[in-house]
Chain A
Amino acid sequence: MNHSNRPNLSNHSNRLLLAAALLLPLAGLAVGIATRQAALSDASQWAIPIAGYDPRDPLRGRYIAFTYAWQVEGSAGDCPDARCSLCLSRRSGAVVATIAPPGARCPARVDLAASAIEIRPSFGREPAPPAFASRIFVSESSAPALEQMLRERPMQVITSLTADGRLVNRRLQPAP
């Protein structure tokens, strides 16, 4: 090991620089946790029914891919390049997602880009509302059971909708 420029704590400025450099990653990680916790603490909870995007193969790597089986209203033309939003509401116990053009205001707005929700075409009858696909990380131990449940019975995803429009998938569970 070369002895030149070896870090040392011989003077005050060295100590200060080194302390700052070593605290920065810890502070960065802590701020990340705090920010996300704060966002989730104000979030509203939504239980949304789901369907496997490909019912034969819902598990993709360490994620389960699915589509939200909510009732879609509005025109797909209002959603160019995924820049639109969805307005969530409840009607007779069902979750309704209304496609809203960019800039539209609503009390429970889902930002598709921030939520990493993909818009995929629905196959079959035309014109059909698009499918909104997402995914959730699952552990290696719980993945087989969840995969089987998705094939065999109705499932729902418990989500948190933050104030800035990010829909966070929290967990999967059987639909009531």
Chain B
Amino acid sequence: MRKNAPFMQQPDGCACPNVRTTAPVERPTRKASPGSLAKKLAMRATDRQTRPRMSLNRKLTAWEAAGLISEAAATEIRAFEARERRPVALWAIVGLGLLALALGILLMVSANWDRIPDALKLGTHIALAAAAAGTVWWAIAQSRPWLAEAALFMLGALVLAGIALQSQVYQLVGPLWQPLLLWLALMTPAMLLVGQTRLTGHAWALLAIAGPLALATENVDGKGIWLWAHGAAMATPAVLVILSFLPRIAAAFATAVRETAIIVLLAAASIAHFGWASEVTPAEAGEMAVRFVLPVLAAVAATLLSRRRAPDYMALWPPLLVAPVLAAALALAVPHPDVWVSRFVGVLLFAAVWGWIAREAARAGWNALFAVAVAAIAIRIFVIYIELFGSLAATGGGLIAGGALLIALALVWRRLVSRRTAMP
């Protein structure tokens, strides 16, 4: 380890900032150099690009002056921050521009439908899509990742618009799942290979969940093969987690896919557990059992793979991936009447799943997830008061007790989260 490394391992094992042992060195002041106004502006622009954010700069200067860090450490931190700086605002504006462009193309096509010959519409669209695909290729060859990402986003929007355009030209009608699944089939390889950012990751994952979901809801009461189609849709989040560990996928894209999948899984399972508050007949339970075969298998496979590919959070994957599916299966695939006992069992299972998640999130240091889990349990405990009491007076009493309980839980939640945030 270098002597002047900004973060040195201390004797107590803490990777803390270097404590300055020498006297403060006076910082060199920048003198105004002679030259034209244009040269000065260009220098200022270059300086703005390379220096770290002003707030950090001020803090580093203050820490340096207080003797907390050495000048070398401050210089290295500034250089590191300058290298890692991301043009977030620029890309937010570019993203909005691209979205407006895509929507504008769609509206222009719609508004001038009669004036444009079909062949011209379709030909222009194919040419635009080819240009977007060519730009992706060229940008990768030129090592311009942001341009490649923008062109990929544009290609995805154009393919979706193209499917809609063909539907309009040829007067095609059909259910929503058909264009969604067609888009997924055409764009998934490019998205997985080229996608680099969380934006494209979230967008692709949402469409990957929406497509099978639209297919499943096309015939909710369907039997036979439809039960397996419903199961396939329910297994999609776990399948996405598995896909996110494919070797060629970029880290930010994969993280976004996993985040979307886990949020959808937890939200769906939390809603599904309200099945305890209604009667499930043996016939309904039998059908649900068939539907849950694929989700359970996918969740187990995703957990096993996640534990191998992300061993740092080994204990967190079972409560995040398997527990919600099992809890939903118990709520919907086990026959039960609509009585208070079944509702209470549902609450206990809900609390067990989120409690497990909270425990493992706390151990892994995922404070945000810990906070969400505690909040979910608190809200569910509040809801049970409304569920269990029937009459007006009893519901009023339940609400008063539930409100008091919710305030108490909020205070406990705040204390727990504050304590966890304060922990190193």
Contacts and interface: CB of A to CB of B under 8 A. Distances in A.
A19 to B, nearest CB: 8
A8 B140 contact: yes
A29 B129 contact: yes
Nearest to B191: A21
Contact of B251 (A4, A7, A28): A4
Interface stretch (B37-45, B108-116, B202-210, B397-405): B108-116
Contact of B249 (A5, A33, A62, A169): A5
Contacts of A26: 126, 129-130, 133
Of A1, A24, A25, A136, which is in contact with the most chain B CB atoms at under 10 Å from its CB?
A25
B137 A137 contact: no
A32 B112 CA distance: 22
A18 interface: yes
Contacts of B187: 25
A170 interface: yes
B137 A170 contact: no
A24 B189 contact: yes
A9 B190 contact: no
Interface stretch (B97-105, B164-172, B369-377): B164-172
B104 to A, nearest CB: 15
Contacts of B126: 26, 29-30, 33
Given A141-B111, A142-B113, A21 B193 contact: yes
Contacts of B110: 62, 139-140
Contacts of A33: 122, 126, 166
Interface stretch (B69-77, B141-149, B335-343, B353-361): B141-149
B15 interface: no
B251 A5 contact: yes
B110 to A, nearest CB: 6
A25 B149 CA distance: 16
Contact of A22 (B137, B185, B250): B137
B180 interface: no
A168 B137 contact: no
Contact of B173 (A135, A138, A170): A135
A2 B186 contact: no
Contacts of A163: none
A10 B301 CA distance: 33
Contacts of A169: 171
A4 B250 contact: yes
B89 to A, nearest CB: 15
Given A1-B86, A36-B170, A169-B171, A28 B185 contact: yes
Contacts of B190: 21-22, 24-25
Interface residues on A, range: 35 or more
Which secondary structure characterizes the binding site on chain B? helix
A1 B113 contact: no
A22 B162 CA distance: 15
B107 to A, nearest CB: 9
Contacts, number: 114
Contacts of B194: 7, 18, 21
A7 B170 contact: no
Interface in B156-188: 159, 162-163, 166, 168, 170-174, 182, 185-187
B306 interface: no
A36 B122 CA distance: 12
A138 B249 CA distance: 42
A1 to B, nearest CB: 5
Contacts of A30: 126
A6 interface: yes
A105 B12 CA distance: 88
A4 B145 CA distance: 12
Contacts of B192: 21
Interface string A75-114: 0000000000000000000000000000000000000000
Contact of B166 (A6, A7, A8, A32): A32
Contact of A1 (B141, B170, B249, B252): B252
A128 to B, nearest CB: 26
Contacts of B3: none
Interface in B316-336: none
B171 A9 contact: no
Contact of A25 (B137, B148, B159): B159
Contacts of B367: none
Contacts of B30: none
Contacts of A140: 110-111, 113
Contact of A23 (B113, B133, B145, B163): B133
Contact of A6 (B113, B155, B159, B250): B250
13 contacts: A2-B252, A5-B249, A6-B196, A17-B193, A21-B193, A21-B194, A25-B133, A28-B182, A29-B186, A36-B166, A137-B171, A140-B111, A168-B171
Closest 8 CB pairs of A and B: A139-B113, A116-B173, A21-B189, A25-B186, A28-B186, A21-B190, A22-B133, A2-B251
Interface of A: 1-2, 4-9, 17-26, 28-30, 32-33, 36, 40, 62, 116, 135-142, 168-170
Given A2-B250, A6-B145, 18 more contacts: A4-B250, A5-B250, A7-B248, A8-B143, A9-B137, A18-B193, A21-B189, A25-B133, A25-B155, A25-B187, A26-B133, A29-B159, A36-B166, A36-B172, A40-B170, A62-B110, A139-B111, A170-B171
